[in-house]
Chain A
Amino acid sequence: MSNSNIDQDSSRNILPRDLEKRRRIWLAILFCLFALPILTLLESRVFKVGAIPFPVSGNVLVFTVININVMLLLLMVFLVLRNVVQMIFERRQNFVGTKLRTKLVVSFVSLALVPTGLLFSVSLQFVSSSMDYWFNTRVEQSLQESLNIAKEVYEDARTQVRTKGLVIGKRLESRFDQPLVAVELEAFLSDISDSHELALELLSDQRVSLAQVSGPNFTEKQIPEIPPEMLRRVLEGEKDLVVIQAIEGGELVRSLTPVALAPNGGRDVLVTTLLLPRERLRSMEVISSGLEGYRQLMILKKPLKTSILVMLWVVTMLIIFSAVWFGLYVARGLTGPIAKLAEATRRVAEGELDFVLEKESGDEMGTLVDSFNQMTRDLQTGKRDLVEVNLALQASYQELEKRQRYTETILRNVGAGVISLDEKGMITSINRFAEELLKIDKSRMIGRHYKEVLRPDHKALLDGFFLELVRSGKAVVQHPVRLTLGDESFLLRVKFTQLKDEQGKRLGVVLVFDNLTELEKAQRMAAWREVARRIAHEVKNPLTPIQLSAQRLRKRYLERLADDGEVFDNCTQTIINQVDELKTLVSEFSSFARMPAVRKAPGDLGEVAREVLLFYREAHKNVEFEDRFDQAVPRFSFDREQIKRVLINLLDNAVAAVGPEGGKIGMTISFDSAEKAAFLEVWDNGPGVPEENKLRLFEPYFSTKKTGTGLGLAIASTIVADHDGYIRIRDNEPTGARFVIELPVGGVVRS
């Protein structure tokens, strides 16, 4: 596996795109931060410039600049919110590091939010309260009252000039009910004007000035003409008309009073003028302009509040978003390496041990990265070693298994029984031969103590072996043992071996036993055959001369010995008869010694048995013969004549067993397809075979009959053995004996 690097993987797939995007976002945010104050400054310049030398309306330009500002602010908000949304999204997806990042951001925001919010609300409240305090109604009221007082001056002046105008008009009407003399009129008016500090002018309805005088305070003051509109209104009947006109030294409060001086009812207009000096007006104007200014500010109160609120809000949001952004930045700086480490850990857990995490900093994170890389290197080395060891172990295990299987195969197929016990006496193994021979279930014995599972006599046998091993100090003890298992008797050669390891520590014992039963039988049979051959050979020869001699003696001397002929006759006849018997015996012995080889040929066992039975049925009418021949027995290869001889021998014994009174004799033929063996049974209801005779029944020259050579069953046993079969003696139920012959069917011959 090639060396891989988590950052190289990242860089191959993510770094160019992701870092580039982040860089762009950083640049955008920085641009916003710098552009905002510059644009704000530009906005303020735009306001100050007034007439803008641009081909677009100032309105549009200002709003464009404001909008750019807002857009930049919103862009920053968008970028920050985007990061927040991304963080929430990653948290839901359980990305590594999102919880820590969330905690950091929340902490930063909380740290920023609480004081900022507090400051915001306090500032807002303070500004609002201050503005409400500055612009409260009492201030306006006092200013208004001041203005009212100032207005009263005007009002007083109006009232004064109106009243005086009326009074003077009345006096004029009463004084001058004759056609007017200008000199008198002027003198009259002059007195009044001097005393009241007024300027008086009498105008005709044709706007001709009939008289004009002015008081000393009007010296060097240019009194303007009354606006024609005013004159017209007065002449039309409007009353109490007062006009205020500004002049250089102050203001003139002028009342227009209609008077009827002409005897024909013509109407004239008396203009009464009062001067309000500039100095007095100045104070009033100050009050007025003060109130004006205050009212202008009142108009601005609400927008000012709004502006302050907005600015505070913008600054607060800037602070909060900066906090969020800073939190995200710090969090990313922490969680980035942690996420990489977590990813690396996951990959290590999945088995990818050959990569290296890039160290990005020299701080504790860098130390952690170094330690992690060292750990993965160690793990990789360890894993490699483990793999090698595992391979070696596997090879060893396979070798061991192979040997074990080989050993088991040997044990399974060896022609000897093998039973092993451990040091404590627990049975550890039993091979198939032992299992079959001893007719035991291995599964019920393995792992159990031999004392728990063996019969008392067998247990005693084993105990004897153990004792002998201990006493003799030998490693191996060997004895022949005769065992009876069910109705079978075995001769076993048992070898009891102590097992020790290289250090001499005892590992247990192993019991190996060979079944010598058949060997013994064969040896006995061979020995008996040899004896029979020798006897036949040695005895046979002298019999003929003895018999011939006796016959010659009888022939020569029987007639000569008339009186003693009877003794001579008996003796010689006895000699001849006994020699005949001896010859028969010798002949049987010879026959036993020279039993012919088996010549197998396919045949029907049932047919052979029926043939033999037929003969016996005819020969022994006092015996009831029964037969049960299974039709399923197939044709197979056997020596017909020899099997017939076996059946004859068995039936002879059965007939002898039931006696001259008769009885019941039966023959059964069956087939075991599983064993692939044909079973031939010959039974009788005679007295049976005593237990002590059963063992020797098939030995040559063993007979319980008064007559007979004792070779019949031996010959039958030999013939059956030559067929690779078995012959056994069992007790018949209810009485009698049952001979069971098992013949292997082998290759079935289809007829």
Chain B
Amino acid sequence: MNKEVKKLIFALFLSLAAFSGWAGSAAAVEKAVVRDLVVANSSRDLLLYFQVGEIFRDDMEEGVLNGIPASLTFLVTLRELKNGRPGQPLAELTINHTLSYDALREAFRLNLSEVKGVQTCTSLDKARKMLSEVNGAQVVGLNILRPGGEYDLGVKVRLEGKSLPLSINYLAPFWQTGEHESDWYHVQFKY
């Protein structure tokens, strides 16, 4: 066989393998969207409000209804802007929302880390809404902020992957865990 043809075949083969890898990897990462990102304050604290869109897929719904909890982690960082550039993080906050279904009670249970207690509801839509919303999470105390200072608050959402009992998912390496995350979303404000 012609040497050049061999090289071409080999290069094509490598490209396919790399491409499929990249495509697979790319396919695995779906972009969740953060909407209505609002920073407010109470008398003492900096409060955060936002919603997450396009995070809940049909297979997640099926998983939840079959007892596989869906868990969202919200990563929040606050940085002061100096000369227009964000500095070191002033505060880092991690918020966890977990949705599970109680087949016995036919009710959805939500554990929201920023709210005490377990929330229950019987409607999936309501549960989804509660899962993907953060209302009034305390980011940091107002005493940390410098009056007149400019700050950048970033939010990122990550849907944690599913895990199965007895670690059976290790037997199915092609079974997607469903983990995916969003980009960083920023809002800048002046105190």
Q: Chain A interface (Cβ within 8 Å of chain B)?
A: 43-44, 47-48, 57-60, 63-64, 66-67, 70-71, 74, 78, 82, 85-86, 89, 147, 150-151, 154, 244, 246, 284-285, 287-289, 291-293, 295-300, 303-304, 306-307, 310
Alpha-carbon gap, A284 to B106, bound state (A): 13
Residues in B neighbouring A89, C-beta threshold 8 A: 1
Interface residues of B in 95-116 (CB under 8 A from A): 102-107
- Flag B168-191 by CB within 8 Å of A: 1 or 0 each: 111111110001110000000000
Q: How far is the CB of B173 from chain A (nearest CB, A)?
A: 6
B10 contact set on A, CB distance < 8 A: 78
Residue of A nearest to B119 (CB): A227
Is B107 touching A244 in the complex (CB atoms < 8 A)? Answer: yes
Stretch at the interface among B18-26, B34-42, B137-145, B146-154: B18-26
The answer to whether A307 and B175 touch across the interface, beta carbons within 8 angstroms, is yes
Contact A304 B66 (CB under 8 A): no
Return 23 A-B CB contacts under 8 Å, by A number: A47-B170, A57-B29, A59-B180, A63-B21, A64-B21, A71-B17, A71-B21, A82-B6, A86-B1, A154-B105, A244-B105, A244-B107, A244-B120, A289-B67, A291-B103, A295-B66, A297-B164, A297-B165, A300-B168, A303-B172, A303-B175, A304-B172, A307-B174
Which residues of chain B come closer than 8 Å to A71, judged between CB atoms?
14, 17-18, 21
- Is A292 touching B103 in the complex (CB atoms < 8 A)? yes
Within 8 Å of chain A (Cβ to Cβ): is B62? Answer: yes
Q: How far is the CB of A389 from chain B (nearest CB, A)?
A: 50
Known: A63-B21, A67-B18, A296-B66. A306 touches B174 (CB 8 A): yes
The answer to whether B28 has its CB under 8 Å from any CB of chain A is: yes
Chain B interface residues toward A at CB < 8 A: 1, 6, 10, 13-14, 17-18, 20-21, 24-25, 28-29, 62-63, 66-68, 102-107, 118, 120, 164-165, 168-175, 179-181
Interface of A is mostly: helix
Q: Complex: how many Å from CA A86 to CA B164?
A: 47
Point out the residue from A82, A150, A284, A292 that lies within 8 Å of B67, measured CB to CB: A292
Instruction: Please state if B172 and A300 are interface contacts (CB–CB under 8 Å).
Output: yes
Q: Which residues of B contact A78 (CB under 8 A)?
A: 10, 13
- Contact check, B164 vs A70: say whether CB atoms are below 8 A apart: no
- Closest B residue to A58 by CB, please name it: B179
**CB-defined contacts of A86 to chain B, threshold 8 Å:** 1
Other 8 A-B pairs with CB < 8 A, given A59-B180, A307-B172: A47-B170, A64-B21, A66-B21, A293-B165, A296-B63, A300-B175, A304-B171, A307-B171
State A289–B172 Cα separation when bound (angstroms).
22
Query: What residues on A are CB-neighbors of B14 within 8 Å?
Result: 71
User: In the complex, what residues of A have CB within 8 A of residue B67's CB?
Assistant: 289, 291-293, 295-296
Least distance between B123 CB and chain A CB atoms (Å): 13
Q: Which A-chain residue is minimally distant from B67 (CB atoms)?
A: A292
CB-CB under 8 A from B172, the residues of chain A are 300, 303-304, 306-307
Q: How many Å lie between the Cα of A150 and that of B180 in the bound state? A: 36
Contact of A74 with B164 in the complex, beta carbons under 8 Å = no
Identify the 6 closest CB pairs spanning chains A and B, nearest first. A292-B67, A67-B21, A303-B175, A295-B66, A288-B104, A63-B25
Nearest residue, chain B, Cβ from A61: B25
Is A147 within 8 A of B104, CB to CB?
yes
Q: Which residues of B contact A44 (CB under 8 A)?
A: 170
Known: A59-B179, A60-B25, A304-B172. A299 touches B66 (CB 8 A): yes
Query: Which of these, A70, A150, A304, contacts B168 with CB under 8 Å?
Result: A304
Does the CB pair B168–A288 fall under 8 Å? no
CA distance A56 to B169 in the complex (A): 22
A367–B2 CA distance with the chains assembled, in angstroms: 37
CB of A284 within 8 A of CB of B173, answer no
Q: Which residues of B contact A307 (CB under 8 A)?
A: 171-175
- Return the contact of B104 from the options A150, A298, A303, A304 (Cβ within 8 A): A150
Residues of B within 8 A of A85 (CB): 1
CB distance from B23 to the nearest CB of A (A): 10
With A57-B29, A58-B179, A71-B17 as contacts: A300 and B169 at CB distance below 8 Å: yes
Q: Does the CB pair A288–B103 fall under 8 Å?
A: yes
Query: Are A298 and B66 in contact, CB atoms less than 8 angstroms apart?
Result: yes
Asked if A297 and B104 sit within 8 Å, CB to CB, the answer is no
Name, among A66, A71, A296, A303, the residue most crowded by chain B CB atoms within 10 Å (CB to CB). Answer: A296
Task: Report the minimum CB–CB distance from A339 to chain B (whole Å).
Answer: 19
Complex partner residue of A296 from B29, B164, B180, CB under 8 angstroms: B164
State the Cβ distance, B72 to closest chain A Cβ, in Å: 15
- Interchain CB contact under 8 A, B24 and A67: yes
Residues in A with CB closer than 8 Å to B103 are: 147, 288, 291-292
With both chains docked as a complex, state the minimum distance between the C-beta of B26 and any C-beta of chain A, in angstroms.
9
* Bound-complex Cα distance A147 to B17 (A): 47
CB-CB under 8 A from A67, the residues of chain B are 17-18, 20-21, 24-25
Q: How far is the CA of A147 from the CA of B171 in the complex (A)?
A: 28
Chain A residues near B175 (CB-CB < 8 A): 300, 303-304, 307
Best-buried of A86, A89, A295 by chain B (most CB within 10 Å): A295
Chain B residues near A299 (CB-CB < 8 A)? 62-63, 66, 68
Closest residue to B120 on the A side, CB-wise? A244
Verify A151–B1 contact, CB threshold 8 A.
Answer: no
Q: Which of A59, A85, A306, A310 has the most CB of B within 10 A?
A: A59
CA distance A172 to B112 in the complex (A): 40
Chain A residues whose C-beta falls within 8 Å of the C-beta of B29 in the assembled complex: 57, 59-60
* Chain B nearest Cβ from A44, distance in angstroms: 6
Bound CA span A151–B169, Å: 30
CA distance A44 to B29 in the complex (A): 20
| Complex Cα gap A66–B24 (Å) | 10
